[in-house]
């Protein structure tokens, strides 16, 4: 069964304390992996697409990397405004537009 | 551009009532989807559409109907609301090109069924 698992469920950091979030998947024939950010009471906001192992994408303090089994979202010197839930998703092999999402990592960055 | 809009923001229904959640997008996107988000479950796909007149079922379609008569609108109908349908519902759209998985989400509708 296609599955996406994110860890940790929640992460509390001090401002400036770098860390990484993990997304592991069991989809065969990966056709991409996607990271989204979700603020409380809002819809997810697209961050990155990664298509092949070894690929990296960066945006401000965030860097996403991909291996054959997992993806990492590295947060460097986070600020309080980085506090959000981070979701990853992969396309199902049986569906053209179908994404399966992980349950997310809730990140809280304290000043 | 307003992006993806959803109405209402909040709704309370009694068991057995029906209602329609509205979703509209102004980006001329071919693809539109409905998801529900429950604590500890992540986002789950209910129904999706790859263009006007074409819809298909997602992971959790039971109890919901959709239709797509225009490119812009993709309403979700609850036929007979049940407490298990208490959730936050998100509509999303994306283009049909290589960035088709870059989905734009609406702000959500929080539905409570009593």
Taking 70 as the threshold, does the pLDDT of residue A95 lie above it?
Answer: no
A75 vs A60: CA distance, rounded Å: 9
A contacts of B105 (beta carbons < 8 Å): 43-45
| Residue B103: C-alpha distances to residues A45, A58, B19, B106 (Å) | 8, 19, 25, 10
Find which of A17-21, B57-61, B92-96 is predicted with most confidence, using mean pLDDT. A17-21
Contacts of B99 in chain A (CB under 8 A): 49
Secondary structure of residue B85 in the 3-state scheme: helix
Res. B46: pLDDT tops 70: yes
pLDDT for residue A32: 86
pLDDT higher than 70, residue A111: yes
Q: Which of A7, A46, A50, A97 to probe the B interface (max B CBs under 10 A)? A: A97
Is-contact A22 A9, C-beta < 8 A?
Answer: no
Kindly tell me if the per-residue pLDDT of A97 is higher than 80. no
- CA of A2, closest CA in chain B: separation in Å? 12
Contact B103, A46 (CB under 8 A): yes
Chain A residue with minimum CA distance to B106: A43
B110/B114 Cα distance (integer angstroms) = 13
Q: Which positions in chain A touch B90 (Cβ < 8 Å)?
A: 43-44
Distance CA B110, CA B87 (A): 6
B99: contact with A, CB 8 A cutoff: yes
- Nearest CB among A42, A43, A49 relative to B101 is that of A49
Cα B108 from Cα B24, distance rounded (Å): 12
The residues near B37 (Cβ < 8 Å, ≥ 6 apart) are: B43, B44, B87, B88, B89, B90, B108
The beta-carbon neighbor of B43 closest among A46, A95, A101 is: A101
Share of chain A above pLDDT 70, in %: 94
Task: Find the mean pLDDT for residues A69-89.
Answer: 96
Chain A residues lying within 8 Å of B40, measured CB to CB: 103
Mean per-residue pLDDT, B70-75: 97
């Amino acid at each position: 069964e296609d599955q996406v698992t994110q860890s940790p469920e929640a992460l509390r950091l001090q401002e400036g304390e770098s860390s990484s979030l993990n997304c592991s998947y069991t989809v065969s024939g990966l056709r991409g992996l996607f990271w989204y950010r979700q603020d409380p009471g809002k819809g997810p906001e697209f961050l990155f697409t990664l298509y092949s192992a070894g690929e990296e994408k960066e945006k401000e303090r965030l860097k996403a990397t991909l291996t054959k089994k997992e993806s990492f979202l590295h947060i460097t010197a986070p600020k309080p405004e980085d506090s959000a839930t981070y979701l990853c998703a992969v396309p199902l092999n049986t569906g053209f537009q179908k994404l399966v999402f992980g349950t997310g990592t809730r990140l809280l960055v304290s000043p | 551009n307003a992006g993806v809009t959803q109405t209402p923001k909040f709704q309370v229904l009694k068991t057995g009532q029906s209602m329609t959640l509205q979703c509209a997008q102004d980006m001329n996107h071919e693809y539109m989807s409905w998801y529900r988000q429950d604590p500890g479950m992540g986002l789950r796909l209910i129904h999706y559409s790859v263009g006007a007149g074409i819809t298909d079922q997602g992971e959790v379609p039971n109890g919901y109907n959709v239709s797509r008569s225009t490119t812009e609108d993709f309403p979700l109908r609850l036929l007979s609301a049940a407490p298990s349908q208490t959730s936050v519902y998100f509509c999303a759209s994306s283009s049909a090109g290589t960035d088709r998985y870059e989905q734009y989400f609406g702000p959500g509708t929080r539905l409570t069924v009593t």
